[in-house]
Amino acid sequence: MHEQLVAMALAYAPKALVAAAMLAVGWFTASWISGATGHRLERHELEPPVRTLLLAVLRVLILGLFVIMALENIGVELLPLIAGLGVAGAAVALATQGVLGNMVAGLTIIFSKPFRVGEYIAIAGVSGEVLEVRLSSTILGQADLSRVVVPNRKIVGETLHNYGKIRQLVIEVPIAYDVDIEQAIDTAQAVLRANPRVLRDPAPGVGVARLRDIGVTLGVVSWVAGADLGPATGELNQALFAALRNRKLLRSLAVPVAA
């Protein structure tokens, strides 16, 4: 028995060493080629998940080629192994169909580009700034600095509202009928021009939004960068209040009392 083990070791040891050397060479070759390819892909306008996927597929293909060569070197029959891997792959696919569905949806998003990183979107009952698009999920940033992780299969096929990288800011200011409306509009326009967060294109605007029984509602419309929506809202509200009050354009509205 001992002699048989020694004979088997002497017979297979060289092949095992050669197979191990092949795997080591394959590992370094895959790393070198994927690294070189990654540097070349950086010159092209590809989304980060696409580059990651392409490099991962390239690495797997190269390593798979060297694994096949190593197995053939030690005399392993590949047909039964391939058949077994096919059965195992089918079982894994059934068990992870949700994950695979997210990945397929992620590829659809990456290549169709319905939105990009930095844009503000509303989808699947949530909204926020797109921080990252992964193969399996999309990360949305919230105003409170929290993050929402949306599975990509919840995005593909649903109605998507893409606000882009700017947001519309609408402020309504109620004023009395006896106030000079033209002066109030000019004052509001001056406030918009003075705020550096307000974009000049699209141009902001001020006008009468509604006529009510107790007064006029002035509509102050502007556009700001998505990240400036919160700060700009507070700044414009405060500035409008101060400017209209200083010019005595804010007067108390007489609320009718029911008889």
- The structure's pTM equals 0.61
When pLDDT is cut at 50, 70 and 90, the band that residue 139 belongs to is very high
Q: Please give the mean pLDDT across all residues of the chain.
A: 78
Does residue 36 fall inside a structural domain?
A: yes
Does residue 101 fall inside a structural domain?
A: no
> Which of residues 164, 194, 224 is at a domain's end?
164
Q: Are residues 10 and 61 in the same domain?
A: yes
Residue 18, domain extent: 2-95
Q: Are residues 239 and 186 in the same domain?
A: yes
Q: Are residues 72 and 126 in the same domain?
A: no
> Which of residues 95, 129, 155 is at a domain's end?
95
Pairwise CA distance, residues 201 & 196, whole Å: 13
Does residue 255 fall inside a structural domain?
A: no
CA 158 to chain centre: 16
Q: In total, how many domains does the chain have?
A: 3
Q: Are residues 170 and 152 in the same domain?
A: no
Task: Convert the pLDDT of each residue in 48-89 to its tens digit.
Answer: 666 676 777 778 777 777 777 777 666 666 566 565 556 555
Confidence at residue 259, expressed as pLDDT on a 0 to 100 scale:
35
Q: Are residues 144 and 217 in the same domain?
A: no
Confidence at residue 4, expressed as pLDDT on a 0 to 100 scale:
57
Confidence at residue 255, expressed as pLDDT on a 0 to 100 scale:
46
> At 125, which CATH number?
2.30.30.60
> At 35, which CATH number?
1.10.287.1260
Average pLDDT over residues 17-37: 77
Does residue 257 fall inside a structural domain?
A: no
What residue has token string 């605007």? 205
Confidence at residue 217, expressed as pLDDT on a 0 to 100 scale:
87
Cα separations (Å) of 198 from 45, 140, 160, 229? 30, 24, 26, 10
Confidence at residue 36, expressed as pLDDT on a 0 to 100 scale:
76
Q: Are residues 181 and 141 in the same domain?
A: no
Q: Are residues 138 and 61 in the same domain?
A: no
What residue has token string 């809202």? 233
Task: Convert the pLDDT of each residue in 188-224 to its tens digit.
Answer: 999 999 999 999 989 999 999 888 888 888 899 999 9
Q: Are residues 157 and 170 in the same domain?
A: no
DSSP string, the chain: -HHHHHHHHHHHHHHHHHHHHHHHHHHHHHHHHHHHHHHHHTTS---HHHHHHHHHHHHHHHHHHHHHHHHHHTT--HHHHHHHHHHHHHHHHHHTHHHHHHHHHHHHHHHH-SS-TT-EEEETTEEEEEEEE-SSEEEEE-TTS-EEEEEGGGTTTS--EEEETEEEEEEEEEE-TTS-HHHHHHHHHHHHHH-TTS-SSSPPEEEEEEEETTEEEEEEEEEEEGGGHHHHHHHHHHHHHHHHHHTT------PPPP-
When pLDDT is cut at 50, 70 and 90, the band that residue 252 belongs to is low
